[in-house]
Amino acid sequence: MALRIIFMGTPAFSVPTLRALAEAGHEIAAVYTQPPRAAGRRGLEEVKSPVHQAAELLGIPVRTPLNFREEEDRATFRVLDADVAVVVAYGLLLPEAILTGARLGAYNGHASLLPRWRGAAPLQRAIMAGDAETGMMVMRMEKGLDTGPVALSERVAIGENMTAGELHDRMMHVGARLMAEAMVRLEAGDLPLTPQAEEGVTYAKKIEKSETRIDFSRPAKEVHNHIRGLAPFPGAWTEVPTGRGLDRVKVLESALGEGEGRAGTVLEGPGVTIACASGAVRLLKLQKAGGKALDADDFLRGTPLPAGTVLV
């Protein structure tokens, strides 16, 4: 017997879970997602979210309330008479009326090993902090921020050079499989719930533009973690001197390098090796504003950075 599910999600990360639940034979009563947003170079075209597009392909009705402050939106949710709400990166803090609006409550697919990295950017924060592992968890939602009891979890190793983009692509499929298993066990009345530990709570606050600039005055390991934690989006960046002044350049891949020097100074090869407060970091893939992402050697053909150049 299938569950009647309301699915709530917005980015590409959420799509595999939506598809997994539909393929498992559950009835998806409706999909809730963020409203279409202005996009394109001029911001004139409104683009539907990846979840919105996936739901339309599956023939599932889509709803896009700005929030649930209006009683009409809450009533519309309740009238769906769902067994459970499944939430994966929806993008709104849900009121209690929605969390309790389905018969069996709401379950969230969260990309961390709770209680570590509650909040908006757990993948990025885990890498930026140098964590060696993270994981996906299915938790029953409560009113607090990612505070509910955990039902299922799976650990995922973070490679020393893994970017947030690579971790994202792995975790979204782990999350889909885990949520599908959780719904089978919920339907059977066999889904365990374990309260989160009270110790070890950390918060993964939203990434701000102000923290994306690379600071070479930090140790090389921290610089490397910062770069890969922000790759490919929004992208950590620095400024490189050219004949026209300074060009902003995003760094999309890096690795620990060898050498010492004044922080921010280009060292003798290979490629683009930059001295940090201690040690050095190699910049492996770089992208100028409006340009293509290039491997270091290709980048240097168009923008030479001789040893002794200082990045700012």
Would the pLDDT of 186 be above 90? Answer: yes
Which whole number is the average pLDDT over 34-61? 89
Three-state secondary structure readout of 129-166: CCCCEEEEEEEECCCCCCCCCEEEEEEEECCCCCCHHH
- The pLDDT score that the predictor gives to residue 40 is 64
Q: Is 113 annotated as a binding residue?
A: yes
Mean model confidence pLDDT for the chain: 96
Q: Is 115 annotated as a binding residue?
A: yes
* Distance separating alpha carbons of residues 31 and 62, to the nearest angstrom: 5
Q: Of 50, 66, 60, 63, nearest to 16 (Cα)?
A: 50
* Distance separating alpha carbons of residues 236 and 91, to the nearest angstrom: 23
* pLDDT-derived band at 243, boundaries 50, 70, 90: confident
* pLDDT-derived band at 1, boundaries 50, 70, 90: low
Tens-place pLDDT, residues 194-238: 999 999 999 999 999 999 999 999 999 999 999 999 999 999 999
Give the HSE-up count for residue 186: Cα atoms under 13 Å, Cβ half-sphere: 27
Would the pLDDT of 80 be above 90? Answer: yes
Tens-place pLDDT, residues 114-153: 999 999 999 999 999 999 999 999 999 999 899 999 999 9
pTM: predicted TM-score of the whole model, two decimal places: 0.94
- The pLDDT score that the predictor gives to residue 41 is 63
* Distance separating alpha carbons of residues 249 and 236, to the nearest angstrom: 8
> Which residue ranges form the domains of the chain, and what is each CATH number?
4-203 (3.40.50.170), 209-302 (3.10.25.10)
The answer to whether the CB of 138 falls within 8 A of the CB of 223 is no
